[in-house]
Structure 1
Amino acid sequence: MRIARYTSAAGPERLGIVTVVSGREMLVDAVKAGGGRGGPATPTSVMQLIEGGAAAMDAIRELLAWAADRQDPLWLDNPDSVQWLTPVPEKSMFCAGRNFGRHKLESMKGSAANTSTLHSDFPTGFVKLGRTLVPHKSRVKRPDDVLSFDYEVEIALVLGKAIDARIEIDPASAIFGYTIFNDLSAREWQLREMQNGMLMLGKNFPGFGPIGPYILTADDVPDPTALVLWLKVNGELRQHSDCRDLIFGFPEMVAFWARFGLVPGDLISTGTPEGVALHHRPDPRAWYLKPGDRVEAGVDGIGVLETFIV
């Protein structure tokens, strides 16, 4: 099941469930459909669905089946006409770095010693501030002092349960679903920061976290390693991989970042595959993002996240 968070004329936050009407994807507004059906209450927001656990998921699936049979246009929203929101409200986000094997190799060329020791015990990564996250179809401004403006397609998992290092549960069971993330990066700042052993500003300018548009629930992803992700700039394919190239998989990342104490709605990203602008040779400048560029980040089975650079 794919779900979305958006606004429409009906209200400031809607829980939409993807259905197909006459061969076209549409969004069933859970509040409108639930009101039309009556009976037991169903979740009316993404966070209610996440926090409601299995019972909430069952209720939404039943509502979707009921609404899909009727296809009442009063309950349906066109994805092309809604105002998108981030898939979850502002939450903590933990991002893996150099976690795809081929990206690790392209980023460590000429540093054989570092390549052999990186990731020896646990993931590397950084925090993405929740307020940097922006939804599908956002216009993101390239900072005035940034020319090396890079893209990174990633998959972000959405936590469905609270988990910390003391809780003995299967980390995979804490995953509610998966969405698409584009980890925009100011390489000038990132590379300077890394010389100081840190990574913060280069990843956290306003708008540097396009995410969405949909969450694909984990029960519809029997093998997350088979997820295929890709990125295009102005229609040109720049990145393409599947998650079999991950160094640390989804459950391993959940188990590691659980040391922070994770709560429902928190986000963990995979890191990006090879093909970022920074590592194009001999001169990456032509590959960096510029005002006027249209970026599409996709994950097969989830959708396409579109961002406009201004």
Structure 2
Amino acid sequence: MKIGRYVGQGTREATGVLVEFGGQTKVLDLAVASAQLKHNTPEFASLDAIIASGRSLLPKIAEIADKARRDGEEAWFGDPATTQWLVPNRPGKCLCAGRNFGRHLDESKQLWAARSGATDQRSIPTGFVKFSENLVPHNASVERPVDVTDFDYEVEIAAIIGQRIERESETQALDAVFGYTVFNDLSAREWQFTEMENRMVMVGKNFPGAGPIGPWILTADEVPDPQALNVVLRVNGETRQTSSCNDMIHSFARLISFWSRLVLFPGDIICSGTPGGVAVAHKPDPRPWYLKPGDVVEAEVPQIGVLTTRIA
């Protein structure tokens, strides 16, 4: 099931699911359909509440969607292409894995060997935090920071946590996932590399619009193995990154298990890390590859959808 938040009728925030109706893929307004079909479930008005239920509400949502396909009215549905999507949810924590794909690790080692000679990689997941207020939705326009020219892209997959977990085992970790969505870890490389010389990073990964995410969530019941998901990133139609999540060094289960030491809550986000192909790794001169005003970036997980961002 694909489920997301968007601007509904009368500019209210709505929760929608993608369904086939009239031979086309449509966005079903879940609250409207629920009321019209006499289900009246208050939680359907809020995707945060649905996420917090784990996956317990999914059977009822599927039942409403099936009835709407058969008996629904045109007014209950919208066009996904023209829908104004919102950030799927506002997490308490958005944790991003660093150097977590094999090819990206290789290119990162070459970069850091040239800069400082430090190429070590730890046996545990390491990463950084994206602040929730810097997340932006599908079709957002993101302004390149005014003093940054080395502006880079990183396609990733975000796992949305659906229940409270603490020190969870790897074997049980995926049971806590509500669903998965597309993420683009936009990065200000000048700031990032200066910070990383002190073995830290924050400003280089956090600025207005630093985390495009969406358009919607694919629920975990339709993703039996997240390591089988694929990621692609295009800039102005040109493919820059492509990989399978099988290249992840630390799997989703490992990331979630390890970071559950922090205690994870419904809505928290765990991001996969990015594969090789980032702009900064291009030789001999990465400057033509960096993002510039006017660029259109498409981050795609074919099994989920395409997340589009415009650079201003």
TM bin (shorter chain): over 0.9
Question: Residue 180 of structure 1 aligns with which residue?
Answer: 182
Checking the alignment, whether the CA contact within 8 Å between 1:90 and 1:133 is kept in structure 2 is: no
Question: Residue 119 of structure 1 aligns with which residue?
Answer: 122
Checking the alignment, whether the CA contact within 8 Å between 2:4 and 2:88 is kept in structure 1 is: yes
Question: Residue 269 of structure 2 aligns with which residue?
Answer: 267
Which one-letter code corresponds to 2:28 in the other structure? V
Q: Secondary structure at the match of 1:55?
A: coil
Q: Secondary structure at the match of 1:107?
A: helix
Q: Secondary structure at the match of 1:173?
A: helix
Indicate yes or no: 2:36 matched with 1:44: no
Question: Residue 16 of structure 2 aligns with which residue?
Answer: 16
User: Aligned equivalents of 2:102 and 2:306: distance in 1?
Assistant: 24
Q: Secondary structure at the match of 2:45?
A: coil
Q: How does 1:1-310 map to 2 (within 5 A)?
A: 1-39=1-39, 41=41, 43-109=44-110, 111=113, 115=119, 117-120=120-123, 122-165=124-167, 170-310=172-312
User: Aligned equivalents of 1:281 and 1:226: distance in 2?
Assistant: 30
Q: For 1:77-116, what per-residue CA distance to the aligned partner results, in whole angstroms no more than 9, with x for missing partners? A: 112332211011253100000000111001112749855x
User: Aligned equivalents of 1:133 and 1:54: distance in 2?
Assistant: 24
Residue 11 of structure 1, CA deviation: 4.4
Assess, with a 3 A threshold, how the Cα gap between structure 1 residues 54 and 201 changes in structure 2: closer, same or farther: closer
Residue 9 of structure 1, CA deviation: 2.3
Assess, with a 3 A threshold, how the Cα gap between structure 1 residues 236 and 54 changes in structure 2: closer, same or farther: closer
Checking the alignment, whether the CA contact within 8 Å between 2:161 and 2:179 is kept in structure 1 is: yes
Q: Secondary structure at the match of 1:304?
A: strand
Which one-letter code corresponds to 1:163 in the other structure? I
TM-score where L is the length of structure 2: 0.94
Assess, with a 3 A threshold, how the Cα gap between structure 1 residues 293 and 200 changes in structure 2: closer, same or farther: same
Checking the alignment, whether the CA contact within 8 Å between 2:54 and 2:176 is kept in structure 1 is: no
Assess, with a 3 A threshold, how the Cα gap between structure 1 residues 192 and 283 changes in structure 2: closer, same or farther: same
Residue 173 of structure 1, CA deviation: 0.7
Q: For 1:161-192, what per-residue CA distance to the aligned partner results, in whole angstroms no more than 9, with x for missing partners? A: 11112789811111111000000000000000
User: Aligned equivalents of 1:275 and 1:161: distance in 2?
Assistant: 34
Assess, with a 3 A threshold, how the Cα gap between structure 1 residues 35 and 17 changes in structure 2: closer, same or farther: same
Matched residue count: 308
Checking the alignment, whether the CA contact within 8 Å between 2:291 and 2:311 is kept in structure 1 is: yes
Q: For 1:254-300, what per-residue CA distance to the aligned partner results, in whole angstroms no more than 9, with x for missing partners? A: 11111111100000100000000000000000000000000000001
User: Aligned equivalents of 1:233 and 1:39: distance in 2?
Assistant: 44
Cα RMSD for the two superposed structures: 1.8
Q: Secondary structure at the match of 1:38?
A: coil
Which one-letter code corresponds to 2:30 in the other structure? A
Q: Secondary structure at the match of 2:224?
A: coil
Query: What percent of counterpart residues are identical?
Result: 49
Question: Runs of 5+ in structure 1 lacking a partner?
Answer: none
Moved more, 158-167 or 287-296: 158-167
Residue 40 of structure 1, CA deviation: 5.4
Assess, with a 3 A threshold, how the Cα gap between structure 1 residues 13 and 261 changes in structure 2: closer, same or farther: same
User: Aligned equivalents of 1:140 and 1:298: distance in 2?
Assistant: 18
Q: Secondary structure at the match of 2:75?
A: helix
Residue 196 of structure 1, CA deviation: 1.0
Q: For 1:15-54, what per-residue CA distance to the aligned partner results, in whole angstroms no more than 9, with x for missing partners? A: 1000123443211000110011003526222112112234
User: Aligned equivalents of 1:21 and 1:71: distance in 2?
Assistant: 9
TM-score where L is the length of structure 1: 0.95
User: Aligned equivalents of 1:104 and 1:98: distance in 2?
Assistant: 5
Checking the alignment, whether the CA contact within 8 Å between 1:99 and 1:248 is kept in structure 2 is: yes
Q: For 1:104-136, what per-residue CA distance to the aligned partner results, in whole angstroms no more than 9, with x for missing partners? A: 001112749855x4132x111000000100000
